[in-house]
Structure 1
Amino acid sequence: MNRNVCFFNSNKAWGGGEKWNHHFSLLLRDQGYNVFVVTNHKSELKDRLENEPGITLHSEPIGNLSFLNPILMGRLKSFFKTNNIQTLITALPSDLKSGGIAAKRAEVNRVIYRRGIAVPVKNSLLNRYIFKNVVDRLIVNSLETKRTVLANNADLIDESKIRQIYNGFDVAEFDKQDFSPLYTPKKDEVVIGNAARLTAQKGQKHLIKTAKLLKEKGLNFKILIAGKGEMEQELKDYAAKLDVNNHVSFLGFIENMKSFHASQDIFCLPSLWEGFGYALVEAMTLEKPVVGFDISSNPEVVADGETGILVPVEDTEKLAAALEKLILDVKLRKKMGAAGRQRVLENFNTPLVLQKLIEVIEE
Structure 2
Amino acid sequence: MNEVAQLIDQSKPDSVIVRMPNLVPIASMAAHRAGVITYWIIPNAISDHYPLKLNKWMYDFWFSWFSVEPLANSAFTSGTLLNRKVKSRVFYLGIDSQEFCPTSVLPVQRSSFGLDGSDLVFGVFARLVPEKGQELLIRAIAEGGTEFGSVKLLLCGGPYYQEYQQHLVSLIEALGLSERVILLGPVQEISPVCLACDVVVNARVDAEPFGLSVIEAMMLEKPVLAHSLGGPSETVVDGITGWLFDEPTVACLKEAIRRVLRDRDRWALMGEAGRVRAIDRFDISRVAVDLCSIVAERRSGASPNIHRYI
| Bin for the TM-score computed over the shorter chain | 0.7 to 0.9
Residue matched to 1:188: 118
Matched residue SS, 1:76:
helix
1:88 to 2, 7, 16: 16
The 2-side partners of 1:334 and 1:240 are apart by 33
SS at match of 2:110: coil
Q: Deviations over 1:294-330 (max 9, x none)?
A: 2111110100111111112212223123223333543
Matching of residue 307 in structure 1 with residue 241 in structure 2: yes
Counterparts in 2 of 1:195 and 1:238: CA distance versus 1, 3 Å: same
TM-score by length of 2: 0.85
Deviation of the 1:214 alpha carbon:
3.0
Query: Greater shift after overlay, 204-213 or 126-135?
Result: 126-135
CA shift, 1:135, in A, is: 3.4
Q: Which has the higher contact order (CA 8 A, sep 6+)?
A: 2
- Are 1:334 and 2:268 an aligned pair? yes
Q: What letter is aligned with 2:171?
A: Y
Task: For 2:263 and 2:238, locate their aligned partners in 1 and report how far apart those are by CA, in whole Å.
Answer: 17
Partners of 1:298 and 1:199 in 2: CA distance: 19
8 A contact 1:292–1:310 mirrored in 2 = yes
1:128, distance to aligned residue in structure 2 (A): 3.7
Q: 1:83 to 1:292 in 2, by over 3 A?
A: same
CA distance 1:328–1:86, change in 2 (3 Å): closer
Of residues 132, 153, 162, the one that matches 2:64 is 132
For the pair 1:146 / 2:78, whether they are aligned, the reply is yes
Q: 1:126 to 1:279 in 2, by over 3 A?
A: closer
Q: Does the C-alpha gap of structure 1 residues 293 and 218 become closer, same or farther in structure 2, counting only changes over 3 Å?
A: closer
Q: What corresponds to 2:44 in structure 1? A: 117
- The residue aligned with 1:76 is 4
Amino acid aligned to 2:157: G
Alignment partners' CA distance in 1, 2:108 and 2:37: 45
Q: Structure 2, unaligned stretches of length 5 or more?
A: 298-310
SS at match of 1:244: coil
State the 1:199 CA deviation: 1.1
Q: Secondary structure at the match of 1:172?
A: coil
Query: Equivalents in 2 of 1:225, 1:313: separation in Å?
Result: 21
TM-score by length of 1: 0.73
1:120 shift after superposition = 3.4
What is the letter of the counterpart of residue 170 of structure 1?
D
Alignment match, 1:236:
169
TM-superposed CA distance for 1:169, in Å, is 1.9
**Structure 1: tracts of 5 or more residues without a match:** 1-72
Cα distance change on mapping 1:240 and 1:224 into 2, 3 Å: same
Letter in structure 1 aligned against 2:106: F
Aligned residues of 1:268 and 1:291 also touching (Cα < 8 A): yes
Task: For residues 249-294 of structure 1, give each alpha carbon's deviation from its aligned partner in whole angstroms, at most 9, with x where no partner exists.
Answer: 0001111111111111111110122111111111112221111212
SS at match of 2:144: helix
Secondary structure (helix, strand or coil) at the match of 1:112 reads strand
Which of 193, 203, 213 matches 1:279? 213
What is aligned with 1:29?
Answer: none
Asked if 2 retains the 8 angstrom alpha-carbon contact of 1:112 and 1:137, the reply is yes
CA contact (8 A) 2:218 2:271 kept: yes
Q: Are 1:169 and 2:95 counterparts?
A: yes
Partners of 2:207 and 2:134 in 1: CA distance: 13
